[in-house]
Amino acid sequence: MTCLRLLLLALVLPALQSCDEDVAEVTRPNIVFIMSDDHAYQAVSAYGTGLNHTPNIDRIAEEGALFTRSYVTNSICAPSRAVMLTGKYSHINGKVDNINPFDWDQDNFAKSLQASGYQTALVGKIHLDGLPQGFDYSNVLPGQGQYYSPVFIENGIKKTIPGYITQVTTDIVLDWLDTKRDKEKPFLMLYHQKAPHRTWMPEEKYLGLFDTVQIDPPANFFDDYEGRPAAAGQEMSIYKDIDVVYDLKMLDKEEELQTRYRKAFQGRYDRMTEEQKAAWDAYYDPIIEDFKSTKREGEELALWKFNRYIRDYLSTIQSVDDGVGQVLDYLKENDLEENTIVVYTSDQGFYLGEHGWFDKRFMYEESFRMPLLVKYPKEIKPGTVVDELVQNLDFAPTFLDYAGVDIPEEIQGESFKDLVNGKVDEWREAIYYAYYEYPGEHRVNRHYGVGTDRYKLMHFYYDLDYWELYDLEKDPTEMNNIYDDAAYAEVQQEMHKKLEELRVQYGDSDEANEESLNRYLKAKNLTR
């Protein structure tokens, strides 16, 4: 080989190697993780309930996978997000409730992706105090956020942005994708919507969207909670506990309707522009007048409250679906679709009148189960359905797995990357749940439990000691507690065994529960 040829090879080979490295870097999948707040799976039309129509969210399932058994580990906002970030149960990551602080210094999957060369961004609701760590760019809501004229904290700096929260959040995401990201790097975008969280304030264009639709309540709307003392003791009844001003928008100009949270809702209303107030008043004033002039009682009043609640709730989701469509369209139009993983989920499930309730917290199915839809054209076949048990614990390891980043040993979840492609022969048979925020809002007792594809065992504790067992095949709405049914004695024994195995596996115990309780009581200035 001549000296000239050797010289040329010496110059060309490093360049080719560098080029190969750049290609490998660019072809690592981008990740767009879309999380809404309190979006019940019943209100995603891909799940076939017929309650509403979410065509853009459905696109993710049509072009990818729909998960039918996706569950949360702790059904409340901030703890769910802490589990999502860390891949560790609440009692391990320290965020067991909405009261005590979250430790941002601990590892999270965004930090790992960032360290491996990803550009990372977080936009919208995170509900974890402090400056987010692991993100090159963050633009988040303080606390719960506001539907109108929302405040955002952009890289630590607060600013009020005119407009409607769902569209504003989407606009920030699109702007980052288009103008702020380094187009030579793979990216992670956490796109987190506030809606449809309470107080369910619709965008002006969707006021009255469902008024011509007859929406019947669930069959167990008038549940009497027989044999279920924990369910009977809650305070999240649509009939008894929902606030007609704060929740149902009966903010009358005469100020005759004085409720517990009227002042709080007045502050939300006052954030609107005059134009927004005009549209709002044109819609709600006739409803307020009808409410005040028509003296409804009992069942009639309960059904009226249900219809006001569900129509506002569903209307806020329509704006979320619009935003999903805008982001999906952007990815397609900018040749990012093929190499981008898109996930849609919620931080937990939600009650849409089941058992007569709104809100979440319980391990009962509607708040325990989350929607989960995932698309990745490179690997996931359109129309895939995944029936195995997954949890929000699994997001962190799954994203690291797709990115080719080592999964830390302390992560307790499992990657479902191969599961969704049918490459896993064995998967978990049971999942663990633990809820800690009691005594507190809605008075849902502390409890933990285990669920399989058919059975569910729960233990309620603190100021009661009560067990519940359900056969979901025969009793999908969880109305009949069979814990003491002799016919299920063997099932009860097996479920107790599974529960103890999972508590050992995940490092939970009565002592850990006692520790979390003491922290919670101290934060709330309560004594036992």
- How many alpha carbons fall within 13 Å on the CB side of residue 150? 28
What is the amino acid identity at position 359?
D
Query: SS3 string of 407-454?
Result: CCCCCCCCCCHHHHCCCCCCCCCCEEEEECCCCCHHHCCEEEEEECCC
pLDDT band at 16; cut points 50, 70, 90? very low
Give the residue-averaged pLDDT of 146-158: 97
Task: Kindly state the tokens that stand for 509.
Answer: 């115990």
**Quick check: 91 and 366 in contact, CB under 8 A?**
no
Note the pLDDT of residue 520: 87
Question: Do 136 and 150 meet the contact criterion of CB atoms below 8 Å apart?
Answer: no
Residue type for position 407: I
Q: Single out the residue of 485, 513, 468 nearest to residue 74, CA to CA.
A: 513
In angstroms, the CA 306 to CA 293 distance is 19
Contact (Cβ atoms closer than 8 angstroms) between residue 228 and residue 71: no
67, 46 in Cβ contact below 8 A?
A: no
pLDDT at 526: 81
Tell me whether the omega of the peptide bond preceding residue 132 falls within 30 degrees of 0, making it cis.
no
Q: What is the mean pLDDT of residues 220-225?
A: 98
Residue 19 pLDDT: 41
Identify the burial level of 421 via C-beta atoms within 10 angstroms of its C-beta, where 0-12 means exposed, 13-18 middle and 19 or more buried: middle
β-strand pairing of 446-451 with 455-461: antiparallel
Phi-psi region of 217 (alpha: psi -120 to 50; beta: other; left: phi over 0): beta
Which candidate, 309, 321, 293, places its Cα nearest to that of 249? 309
∠ CA 35-56-269, rounded to 5°: 60
Give the three-state DSSP class for 152. Answer: strand
Cα radius of gyration rounded to whole Å, the chain: 24
Q: What are phi and psi of 167, to 5 degrees?
A: -70, -40
- Residues 6+ away with beta carbon under 8 Å from 36: 192, 193, 195, 196, 317, 320, 344, 345, 346, 347
Pairing of strands 372-375, 340-346: antiparallel
Query: What number is the average pLDDT over the span 40-47?
Result: 98
As a whole number of angstroms, the distance between CA 8 and CA 206 comes to: 66
| Residue 511 pLDDT grade (very low, low, confident, very high; cuts 50, 70, 90) | confident
pTM to 2 decimal places: 0.94
- Asked if residue 521 has pLDDT above 90, the reply is no
Q: Which residue has the higher pLDDT, 260 or 519?
A: 260
All structural domains of the chain, each given as residue ranges with its CATH number in brackets, are: 27-201+313-425 (3.40.720.10), 226-308 (no CATH), 433-523 (3.30.1120.10)
Q: Is the dihedral of CA 441, 442, 447, 451 positive or negative?
A: negative
Q: Model confidence over 270-312: pLDDT tens digits?
A: 999 999 999 999 999 999 999 999 999 999 999 999 999 999 9
Q: What confidence tens digit (pLDDT) does each residue in 162-204 have?
A: 999 999 999 999 999 999 999 999 999 999 999 999 999 999 9
For 443-499, the pLDDT digits (tens) are 999 999 999 999 999 999 998 999 999 999 999 999 999 999 999 999 999 999 999
Q: Which letter, b or e, does each residue of 112-135 get, where b requires 16 or more Cβ atoms within 10 Å of its Cβ? A: bbbeeebbbbbbbbbbbeeebbbb
Residue-wise pLDDT tens digits, 304-334: 999 999 999 999 999 999 999 999 999 999 9
Q: Are 252 and 290 in contact (CB under 8 A)?
A: no
Q: Tens of pLDDT along 371-397?
A: 999 999 999 999 999 999 999 999 999
